[in-house]
Amino acid sequence: MRLTVVPQGKQLGWNFIEFAGAATISDESGNRISGNIISIDEVRYANLSSKFGQLTMGFNGVYGQWAFEENGGAVMVPYSVSPQAELYLAGGYEKRLLIDNGTTMFTPPGGFGINQETPENVAKRETLEETGVHINNLIKVGEATPNRAFWIKQSEGNWPLTFFACKVEWSALAEKDGQKYLPVTEGAIAELDKLSKLVFLPAIGAINNTNDGIAIAAFAKTLAAFEIGLIR
């Protein structure tokens, strides 16, 4: 579904408290008027579009809300299996500007789709951009919505997020200070949209090492795929 204009007698329930910018509007005679925005007295529908998707304020058939329709994001979880058949999941630390004024969070590579990319292409591109690593052997391990109340999933479309896993052979990992990592990513530091070196942790340890909800879901889907034999 998509949000529509809030009908008369219903309330959006969201108000513009602060804003800045300019606008072109029309008066009752249809004359166009340009100028600075002074106030917005009533909002019945609003839509913001970007290369990542559309943010809409409107009516869902029951009440007013805002909602985001994402252009198909993806997350890619590197994994490895120890000689003792224990699953290890990888992530790096990434700076996030909206979390505690720029703290780092442990997460696998991933991001938004752009220009109708397939989820597979999103996973490959984001992994290359964030880690410098080219990947090909992707296995789809699940799908999800970041937030069931505010993210739109069309019946004919992909879920907002698709999770993939990519196997790294145990013999390809290095160890330093008791920590397994991917040598090709050594020296990388946490930045905005750039991960520090990819560190491999036991699956439960990886899940417990982050407060990023999307990372938790990606790790959990990968662990579930391993438990049912989808990945080995």
Domains of the chain and any CATH numbers: 1-70 (no CATH), 71-227 (3.90.79.10)
Tokens of 149: 């109340």
Rounded to whole angstroms, the Cα distance separating 41 from 56 reads 18
Query: What is the overall mean pLDDT for the chain?
Result: 91
| Cβ atoms 206, 91 nearer than 8 A | yes
Phi first, then psi, for residue 35 (nearest 5°) are 170, -175
Phi first, then psi, for residue 227 (nearest 5°) are -65, -35
The secondary structure of 178-214 as a DSSP string is TEEE-GGGTT---BBTB----EEEEHHHHHHT---HH
pLDDT digit string (tens) for 42-64? 778 999 999 889 999 999 999 99
Does residue 148 surpass a pLDDT of 90? yes
Q: What is the mean pLDDT of residues 142-166?
A: 91
Does residue 92 surpass a pLDDT of 90? yes
Q: What is the mean pLDDT of residues 7-21?
A: 79
Give the confidence band of 116 by pLDDT, cuts at 50, 70, 90: confident
Instruction: Please give the pLDDT value at position 86.
Output: 98
pLDDT digit string (tens) for 174-212? 999 999 999 999 999 999 889 999 999 999 999 999 999
Q: What is the mean pLDDT of residues 133-157?
A: 91
Instruction: Please give the pLDDT value at position 22.
Output: 74
Does residue 95 surpass a pLDDT of 90? yes
Q: What is the mean pLDDT of residues 94-123?
A: 92
Q: Which residue has the higher pLDDT, 65 or 13?
A: 65
Burial class (CB in 10 A: 0-12, 13-18, 19+), 56: buried
Q: What is the mean pLDDT of residues 1-8?
A: 87
Does residue 10 surpass a pLDDT of 80? yes
The secondary structure of the chain as a DSSP string is ---BPPPTT--------S---EEEEE-TT--EEEEE-------S-EEEEETTEEEEEEE-SSSEEEEEEES-EEEEEEEEE-TT--EEEEEEEEE-TTSTTT-EEEE-SEE---TT--HHHHHHHHHHHHH------EEEEEEE-S-TTTB---TTS--SEEEEEEE--GGG-EEETTEEE-GGGTT---BBTB----EEEEHHHHHHT---HHHHHHHHHHHHHHHTTS--
Instruction: Please give the pLDDT value at position 13.
Output: 81
